[in-house]
Chains A and B, each alone.
Chain A
Amino acid sequence: MSISIKNCDLFYGDFHALKGIGRDEGMEISENKVTAFIGPSGCGKSTFIRVFNRMNDLIQNCKITGEITIDGQNIYEKSTDITQLRKNVGMVFQKPNPFPMSIYDNIAFAPRTYGIKKRAQLDEIVERSLRQAALWDEVSDRLKKSALGLSGGQQQRLCIARTLAAEPKIILMDEPTSALDPISTGTIEDLIRELKKTYTIVIVTHNMQQATRISDKTAFFLMGEVIEYDKTRQIFSNPKDKRTENYVTGRFG
């Protein structure tokens, strides 16, 4: 599934957090690619990623205008089934947030939400998701143990597996490696490269090397606006905007 954005504005009360994203010709996030959002803290990249699964609904006084279309449907229409939307658009957070229950129950949480109760079917989903997240070999002998006993990197892969178990089409990742050590970060990056064959991935990252390593396209955010959006190679080697150049060459941020 692809995402297209037309003229998106977002306000927290009086604060204008996102300004006219996809203003002129619109912004397209393509299927089965990794799209990276980069930019200094507070530039709106994390806010923007939460537009796609309507996580901003949880925040008071948050108002969104414009058109966000996923799979041909404007997700901010009244008729949108948020549950279905979030099933299709999974999310992985900055800080690993495994639920305080067993590894198995963590993965089975989403399928159970959608009404799957048969043991055999759940077993199959759990194994498949854990294998996809490259975690199966490490945890297959302790599925009934608490997920909180895993290491930080394992916890994050568990959260990815938990998201995969919902069978999403798009996966949003909000700085998924910023709380992890370099080795775990490497594992997760390999995983992302593997996952993009099947899923559309949008990743927010602070780490520009990470964006160059894993993403196909990159959007540079500054003060709530998309300054430049292009092929990753283009953004980092030959940016059109001066501000993008300053940022990617490390002059600020």
Chain B
Amino acid sequence: MNSTKPMHKFREIFFEYVFMFSAGISVLALVMIFVFLFANGMPAIAEIGLMEFIFGREWRPMDASPSFGVLPMIAASIYITLGAMVIGVPVGIFTAVFLAHMCPARLYVVLKPTVNLLAGIPSVVYGFFGIVIIVPFVREISLFFTGGGSGSSMLAAMILLGIMILPTIVNISESAIRAVPRSYYEGSLALGASHTRSVFSVVLPAAKSGVFASVILGVGRAVGETMAVVMVAGNQARMPESIFRGGRALTSNIVIEMGYAEGLHRDSLIATGIVLLVFIFIINIVFTVVTRKSAPSAD
């Protein structure tokens, strides 16, 4: 027994280091992502010029005298995300309210798994659905309004992303609404308010930080989405003109040209990745602020 003791001690310490090392991997990975993206992207930004890169309105990487302005992509990403929010947020929040407070039990067992299924569907399947259904549909609308257009457009991307962010908004909002103490709802009923009024004017406002957090996560998902957007948005690298015309998101810019880009062109695509990262971090910070603020009141 005595001889096993140092062995035993050694094993305890050895594993503690194994666990610590594993935990360090996440930090290492994050650092590596920064190092590799910045090492490859920053020289390109320096060469192009930060202002020229961020605010340049021309993206013509293959020209004899190329220009690398990502403003069109930044603008398209923002427009597409905003459009997706306009479509997805009301539908998502009302659906969350429905699930939490109005849904008959028998419908719930259908609706809830369906929303979860929606969350699991791969982006490419959404993209494909966009190609075969949404794009032709938008083509019809745009024929009516503008007399033309292929349908591959920012509007198509907005509709598709609006659907894709539904599960995020619905699931997180639903938990936030359910987390509101039942006494709020009962108190409102006791004052003579109707069921609908109690839900909308007492319960929903009480859940607002959770609902807001779900919207921000939805924004993150929409900004970061790549394949589905590439497949339906048309991808023309120009300043957005109309929602019926094509636009190219930041994510799309990378996927479309990475296959053949070389030299400065390639590095400018990596720099596009840096811009995307900056967007995501801003969204993360907003998310953290919102959830921190709500933490004390949740207790």
Binding site for B on A (CB under 8 A): 81, 114-115
Q: Shortest 4 CB-CB distances between A and B: which pairs?
A: A115-B4, A115-B1, A114-B1, A81-B5
B residues touching A (Cβ–Cβ < 8 Å)? Answer: 1, 4-5
Cα distance, A81 to B4, chains bound together (Å): 14
Cα-based distance from A115 to B8 in the complex (angstroms): 10
Q: Secondary structure at chain B's binding surface: helix, strand, loop or mixed? A: helix
The minimal Cβ–Cβ distance linking A112 to chain B, given in whole angstroms, is 12
Grouping DSSP codes into helix (H, G, I), strand (E, B) and loop, the A interface class, with mixed when no group exceeds half, is loop
Q: List 4 A-B contacts (CB under 8 A).
A: A81-B5, A114-B1, A115-B1, A115-B4
Closest B-chain residue to A114, C-beta based? B1
A158 to chain B, nearest CB (A): 26
When distances are taken between beta carbons in the complex, the residues of chain B under 8 Å from A115 are 1, 4
Nearest opposing residue in chain B for A84, CB measure: B5
| Cα-based distance from A115 to B4 in the complex (angstroms) | 8
Measured between beta carbons, the chain B residues less than 8 angstroms from A81 are 5
**Min C-beta distance of B248 to chain A, whole Å:** 53
A81 to B2, CA, bound (A): 12
Complex interface: chain A residues within 8 A of B5 (CB)? 81
| Alpha-carbon separation in the docked complex, A38 to B1 (Å) | 39
Report the Cα distance A118→B4, complex, angstroms: 16
Report the nearest A residue to B1, measured CB to CB.
A115
**Chain A residues, Cβ within 8 Å of B1:** 114-115
State the Cβ distance, B12 to closest chain A Cβ, in Å: 10
* Contact residues in B for A114 (Cβ distance below 8 Å): 1
Question: Nearest Cβ in chain B — how far from A219, in angstroms?
Answer: 35
| Nearest chain B CB to A84 CB, angstrom units | 9
Instruction: Give the nearest-CB partner of B3 in chain A.
Output: A115
How far, in whole Å, are A198 and B76 apart by their CA atoms in the complex? Answer: 81
List chain A residues, Cβ under 8 A from B4: 115
Alpha-carbon gap, A114 to B2, bound state (A): 10
